[in-house]
Amino acid sequence: MAVVVETTIGDFTVDLYTEERPQTCRNFLKLCKLKYYNWNLFHSVQNNFIAQTGDPTGTGKGGESVYGIVLGEKARYYEAEQMPKIKHDRSGLLSMINCGNNMLGSQFFITLAPELQSLDGEHCVFGEITEGLEIILKFNETICDGDHRPYQDIRISHTVILEDPFEDPKNFVVPDQSPPPTKEVLMSDRIGADEVIDDTAGMTAEEIIEMQKEKEAKARATILEIVGDIPDADMAPPENVLFVCKLNPVTTDDDLEIVFSRFGKIIGCEVIRDRQTGDSLQYAFIEFADRKSCEEAYFKMDNVLIDDRRIHVDFSQSVAKMRWKGKGKGIQYFNDNEDLEKVSLRYKQKDESTNNDDIKSRRENDKKNKIEIMEHRKHEYRKNDNKNNSECSYSDKYIEKEKHKEQRYYDTSREKYEYDSRRRKERKHRDRSRSRSRDKSKRENYKEHKQKKKHDNEKKRWNRESVNENLGYEKYKERHSNRKEKEKRKERNRSMDRYEKNKQKER
């Protein structure tokens, strides 16, 4: 037996379990025949769970069975069938709401997800959607408030019975036509079911583009929140933290803290390192106690030289209304009424006409940073030397090395490049020589191979001589043995000479 249910978001066809649930199917069919469900609101829609309706009041507390309409208030509810058991094991099932003590009225729900075991044994399944299952996707996409009520009304507009095998009860009156919508439906405080929502109504093209950008930014932030990169999508970056990158792998937390502490008190300074190897990943985060000192560091420390590397400093959008006037001139704070474009153009012209004084001041600043780091490292090395009490002071060696570098390779890119390339070649040559001496077994094999080759060559030569002189095998053998005896005699004589010389020395 089938019923077509027409809603404001689409139509679907329901097949009823008349053999398994005869009483519940009869109640549902007769209520549809009375047009009881027309204009009923889906008052509760829980995504990937259920969509509930069947209450003419739209509150979830009303509704009655067909027996209550025919026989009176005492027969408002009827007892649900419990056998056979039908589980809520797939989406698109229709199930009656249990009103307490296993009693049913007119309210029912549609399952919007499979495997809803929590509903089994409590609510009575009596049918399933066979056509129009795409309606479930629309229910799952519905935007609802905290009470799971949709912001835009979703209603049953009409029900059509395709086949009814049950007889009508006594005093059952079928209406001639569908009832008109009630005052409650017309006076709803929500967006109407047939109302078209246009977010861009009355907005300019620029405002629409800005709204789209905001939506895209929120969507990206939500994705990051889902992935786990940020704890909250609406979280703003801190205003007192700087991001420093392009660092030299040698640079440590203490070095950065010394350089940046001239702008104000630093709460935390951390160079990010690899967990397994402990090597620097060449970027860091510096947290200042004061926001103003953080902004000052942002403007002054970008492109500054630290350990022969020009660092890059970035900051959040909280400094959008500030500009650094120049060395010793401070920061200008813009007012809301001030024209930002004119001021930015004025400062751009100043930046284009930079003098040699600015370059000199930058070089002085770089030297100052280098000296501070050098002094700090000397101090650290001296500490280590005092602990170890070693004869050779490592700090002195480090100082000599740094002086030698400063004398030969000052801060120009060409000289530094040549120095680095030379060092690279030396390292390559050293590694090659190490690899040769590393494997002794290879060298031994090579010696054996060489000796074998020498012996083979001698044999070939002897064979060649014997053939050229037309010697027989016996003569060749004699000649070969004579040669061997001669060599043995020579070795014996040499050893005797050595023995006599050693004796004479002892005397």
- Token couple for 235: 């979280």
Model pLDDT, residue 75: 85
Query: In angstroms, rounded to a whole number, what is the distance separating the alpha carbons of residues 320 and 169?
Result: 76
Q: Considering only CA atoms, which of 62, 35, 31 is closest in space to residue 169? A: 31
Computed over every residue of the chain, the mean pLDDT equals: 76
**pLDDT surpasses 50 at 319:** no
- The pair phi, psi for residue 334, each rounded to 5°, is -80, 145
Among 5-19, 86-100, 414-428, the least confident range:
414-428
Entry field: residues in the chain: 507
What pLDDT is recorded for position 45? 94
Q: Average the pLDDT over 201-208 and give the result.
A: 80
Judge whether residue 448 has pLDDT over 60: yes
pLDDT higher at 478 or 405: 478
Average pLDDT, stretch 24-43? 91
The whole-number pLDDT of residue 416 equals: 52
pLDDT for res 298: 86
Answer yes or no: is pLDDT of 373 > 60: yes
pLDDT confidence of 413, banded at 50, 70, 90? very low
Mean pLDDT across 254-265: 88
Give the range with max mean pLDDT: 95-109, 198-212, 365-379, 465-479. Answer: 95-109
What is the residue type of 477? K
Peptide bond into 84 cis (omega under 30): yes
Residue 333 has pLDDT above 70, yes or no: no
- DSSP β-bridge partners for residue 191: 152
The pTM assigned to this predicted structure is: 0.44
- The per-residue pLDDT for 441 is 60
Looking at per-residue pLDDT, the higher value among 401 and 68 belongs to 68
- Cβ-Cβ contacts under 8 Å for 292 (sequence gap 6 or more): 264
As a whole-number percent, the residues of the chain with pLDDT over 90 amount to 15
SS3 95: strand
pLDDT of residue 435: 61
Reply yes or no on whether the pLDDT at 126 is more than 90. Answer: yes
Q: Burial, 453: exposed, middle or buried (Cβ in 10 Å; 0-12, 13-18, 19+)?
A: exposed
Residue 343: predicted pLDDT: 45
Mean pLDDT, rounded, for 142-159: 89
Mean pLDDT across the stretch 396-403? Answer: 58
Angle between helices 394-408 and 356-388 (to 10 degrees): 160
For residues 358-387, give the mean pLDDT.
67
Q: Using alpha carbons only, how large is the chain's radius of gyration in Å?
A: 46
Mean pLDDT of 123-145: 91
For residue 338, pLDDT beyond 50: no
pLDDT at position 291 over 90 = no
Kindly state the average pLDDT of the residues 452-473: 64
Question: What pLDDT sits at residue 220?
Answer: 77
Residues of the chain with pLDDT > 70: what percent? 67
pLDDT at 232: 55
The pLDDT of residue 409: 44
From CA 149, how far away is CA 143, in angstroms rounded?
8
Rounded to an integer, the average pLDDT of 400-428 is 58
Please compute the mean of the pLDDT values over residues 387-392 and round it to a whole number.
52
Distance in angstroms (rounded) separating the CA atoms of residues 291 and 275: 31
Lowest-confidence region among 156-170, 300-314, 421-435, 467-481: 467-481
* Statement: residue 73 has pLDDT above 50: yes
Q: How confident is the model at residue 321 (pLDDT cuts 50, 70, 90)?
A: very low
pLDDT of residue 466: 54
Q: Answer yes or no: is pLDDT of 107 > 90.
A: yes
Q: Flag whether pLDDT at 125 surpasses 90.
A: yes
- State the chain's maximal CA–CA distance in angstroms: 149
Residue 44: how many other CB atoms lie within 10 Å: 19
